[in-house]
């Protein structure tokens, strides 16, 4: 059978293989994480954290330029001179107020390169809050990233709604604490969802549902990458979105980030991205 003749079937087989891989990963995590008496709590905390990410060389961390080095957001290297992130991460900041960390975030003790921003570019229609439309920005680096392998290519077409997607970040890992940051990169998995709580998803968004219960993005993850993966693997293929915001269930007012995650669509903004990098 030639799978290229049956793209829908091929996609479903790839998703099944990846789900089996991820299920085994999560089950092993829970088995090692806690005794049976604490398994329900272990599942909640571990899934919120996601799983330990594999190497994601394109992932960067935006930090404040003061001595506190506070984590601001995430981002992705889309060219050796350009980082793609959320406009909500950099709106209201001067470029000199933010630095970009590049390196291996799966290893806390590994060295990180610090890059400075030459130029910040947002869409003309962004109106300045995190759930607003057009939540996307490009940051031009003063000096290029040394390694070309850190660049992730941009997706140029919409994927089927049942396509499995991955996202990584170093945001908070506790729904009740906004600043419980991990020491290593975490990863969560999603499928694209056409509708946001009964309302049509905006054209500039990728609206998602988490694959595993309450696994989600949260504070500190904004600007981070959403990516497709090669068939049956956790290996990223192309950049599909930029994390914008998440919401909470009405029934749990004291918990954060326990509903859906919303990303700005790279496919939607692709002409703007390419035009901006070419002109700037």
Q: Rounded distance, CA 277 to CA 121, Å?
A: 10
**Per-residue confidence (pLDDT) for residue 201, from 0 to 100:** 84
Query: What does the alpha-carbon distance between residue 262 and residue 20 come to, in Å, rounded to a whole number?
Result: 25
What pLDDT, on a 0 to 100 scale, did the predictor assign at position 175? 63
Q: How many residues does the chain have?
A: 280
- Residue carrying structure tokens 């696994």: 215
Averaged pLDDT in 10-residue chunks for the chain of 280 residues: 48 64 56 34 36 84 78 93 95 89 90 94 86 93 94 94 88 68 86 68 89 80 94 90 81 62 95 94
**For residue 120, what pLDDT is reported?**
95
Residues contacting 85, CB < 8 A, separation 6+: 62, 73, 74, 75, 76, 136, 137, 138, 139, 222, 223, 242
The pLDDT of residue 41: 31
pLDDT at 22: 61
- The number of angstroms, rounded, from the C-alpha of 96 to the middle of its chain's C-alpha atoms is 24
Q: Could you tell me which of 256, 155, 154, 171 has the C-alpha nearest to residue 222?
A: 171
User: Where do the domains of the chain lie, and which CATH numbers do they carry?
Assistant: 3-54+153-267 (2.40.10.10), 59-152+269-279 (2.40.10.10)
Contact 57, 80 (CB under 8 A): no
The two structure tokens encoding residue 7: 């793209």
Place of tokens 């031009």: 140
Integer-rounded Cα radius of gyration of the chain: 18
Question: Distance between CA atoms of 20 and 48, rounded to whole angstroms?
Answer: 20
pLDDT at residue 17, as a whole number: 62
Single out the residue of 47, 34, 41 nearest to residue 212, CA to CA.
47
* C-alpha to C-alpha distances, 216 to 67, 195, 211, nearest whole angstrom: 30, 17, 9
Structure tokens at 205: 């968004």
Distance in angstroms (rounded) separating the CA atoms of residues 64 and 268: 29
């Amino acid at each position: 059978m030639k799978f290229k003749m049956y793209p829908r079937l091929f996609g479903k087989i790839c998703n099944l293989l990846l789900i089996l891989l991820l299920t085994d990963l999560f089950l092993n995590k829970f088995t090692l994480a806690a005794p049976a008496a604490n398994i329900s709590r272990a599942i909640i905390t571990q899934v919120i954290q996601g799983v330990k990410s594999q190497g994601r060389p394109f992932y960067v961390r935006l930090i404040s330029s003061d001595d506190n080095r506070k984590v601001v957001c995430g981002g992705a290297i889309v060219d050796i001179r350009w980082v793609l992130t959320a406009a909500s991460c950099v709106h209201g900041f001067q470029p000199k107020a933010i630095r970009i960390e590049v390196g291996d975030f799966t290893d806390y003790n590994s060295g990180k390169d610090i890059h400075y921003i030459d130029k910040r570019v947002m869409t003309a229609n962004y109106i300045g809050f995190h759930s607003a439309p057009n939540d996307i920005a490009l940051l031009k680096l003063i000096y290029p990233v040394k390694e070309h392998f850190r660049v992730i290519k941009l997706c140029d077409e919409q994927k089927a709604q049942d396509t499995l997607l991955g996202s990584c970040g170093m945001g908070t890992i506790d729904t009740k604490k906004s600043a419980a940051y991990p020491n290593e990169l975490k990863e969560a998995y999603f499928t694209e969802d056409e509708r946001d709580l009964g309302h049509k998803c905006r054209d500039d968004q990728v609206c998602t549902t988490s694959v595993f219960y309450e696994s989600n993005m949260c504070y500190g993850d904004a600007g981070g990458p959403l990516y497709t993966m090669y068939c049956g693997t956790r290996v990223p293929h192309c950049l599909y979105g930029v994390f914008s915001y998440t919401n909470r269930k009405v029934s749990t007012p004291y918990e954060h980030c326990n509903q859906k995650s919303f990303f700005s669509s790279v496919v939607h903004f692709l002409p703007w991205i390419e035009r901006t990098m070419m002109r700037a």
